[in-house]
């Protein structure tokens, strides 16, 4: 048996994509273990997660994402851009489509520039700030003090903790973040974002991702959450330029929030089984 795959990345957040549009390739009960094996950067392909694209009863396509710890994530902002590039390149959809995720329906628009660079804009829906919606302990909007940090939170498809700091490079992310990520106040855990405000409309972010269990180069839902919290607190305007370790994203907040950014096909391959 041979399994075709495509490797894609969005701002350095990288994924293995398996096409199941013609039917299941990896049985559901094996998808988590498949992700654990093939996300390994030494003994597998190497990725922050495995995307599965399949038909949907309610949308143009369905996206599922399994992470290196075998868990399934509700949504992924960089992942959905990578999936959008794949379905567009494969002519499964045109320049607009809807994607079914566990976090809801995500409308997507996409195009190539004259220079051949792919860009997708995702309607992320509104950010949720109430503790019950994140979910997090307590009532009202979430805020807590932890180890000298003030921690805010929002749900932008998945739970995110947001911490504002003067210098993101001074933070030992992989040392500090796990205590917040697994804190009992977050019953489902949370991604952790350290955010530096750079100017009137720009921030720099570093993200520790739940499920990957380490810092990643970029996180689309994390960038959305960071921009949303910064805007909600009056630190940023409605349009925020986010600099991740893997590149820039633009977040725009109106009735809903849109995220605009790139996706790149890295290579295609075959897994022999």
| Alpha carbon 185 to its chain's center | 22
Cα dist from 100 to 22, 55, 166, whole Å: 17, 9, 38
* Catalytic residue check, 82: no
How many C-beta neighbours within 10 Å does residue 29 have?
A: 7
Which entry of 39, 59, 82, 219 is annotated as an active-site residue?
A: 219
Question: Tell me, what DSSP letter sits at residue 227?
Answer: H
How many C-beta neighbours within 10 Å does residue 19 have?
A: 18
User: How many residues are present in the chain?
Assistant: 273
The residues, any chain, with a CB within 8 Å of residue 74's CB and separated by 6 or more, are: 101, 102, 103, 157, 158
The residues, any chain, with a CB within 8 Å of residue 138's CB and separated by 6 or more, are: 131, 144, 185
Let me know: does 191 contact 221? Beta carbons within 8 Å.
yes
Give me 248's structure tokens.
């820039």
Which entry of 39, 76, 82, 97 is annotated as an active-site residue?
A: 76
Which helix (DSSP H) or strand (DSSP E) does residue 82 occupy? helix 77-89
Burial class (CB in 10 A: 0-12, 13-18, 19+), 175: exposed
Let me know: does 204 contact 225? Beta carbons within 8 Å.
no
Catalytic residues: 76, 219
């Amino acid at each position: 048996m041979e399994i075709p795959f495509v490797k894609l990345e969005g701002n350095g957040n990288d994924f293995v994509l398996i096409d199941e549009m013609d039917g299941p390739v990896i049985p559901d009960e094996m998808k988590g273990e498949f992700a654990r094996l093939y996300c390994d950067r030494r003994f597998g392909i190497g990725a922050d997660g495995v995307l599965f694209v399949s038909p949907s009863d309610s949308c143009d396509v369905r996206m599922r994402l399994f992470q290196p710890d075998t868990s399934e994530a509700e949504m992924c902002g960089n992942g959905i851009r990578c999936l959008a590039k794949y379905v567009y390149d494969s002519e499964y959809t045109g320049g607009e489509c809807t994607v079914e995720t566990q976090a809801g329906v995500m409308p997507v628009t996409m195009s190539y520039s004259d220079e051949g660079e792919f860009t997708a804009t995702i309607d992320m829906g509104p950010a949720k700030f109430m503790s019950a919606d994140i979910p997090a302990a307590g009532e009202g909007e979430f805020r807590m003090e932890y180890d000298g940090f003030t921690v805010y939170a929002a749900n932008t498809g998945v739970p995110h903790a947001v911490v504002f700091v003067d210098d993101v490079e001074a933070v030992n992310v992989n040392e500090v973040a796990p205590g917040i990520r697994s804190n009992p106040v977050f019953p489902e855990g949370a991604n952790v974002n350290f955010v530096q405000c750079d100017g009137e409309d720009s921030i720099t972010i570093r993200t520790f991702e739940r499920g990957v269990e380490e810092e990643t180069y970029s996180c689309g839902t994390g960038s959305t959450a960071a921009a949303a919290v910064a805007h909600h607190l009056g630190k940023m305007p409605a349009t925020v330029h986010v600099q991740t370790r893997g590149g820039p994203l633009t977040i725009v907040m109106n009735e809903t929030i849109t995220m605009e950014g790139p996706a790149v096909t890295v290579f295609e391959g075959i897994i022999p089984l």
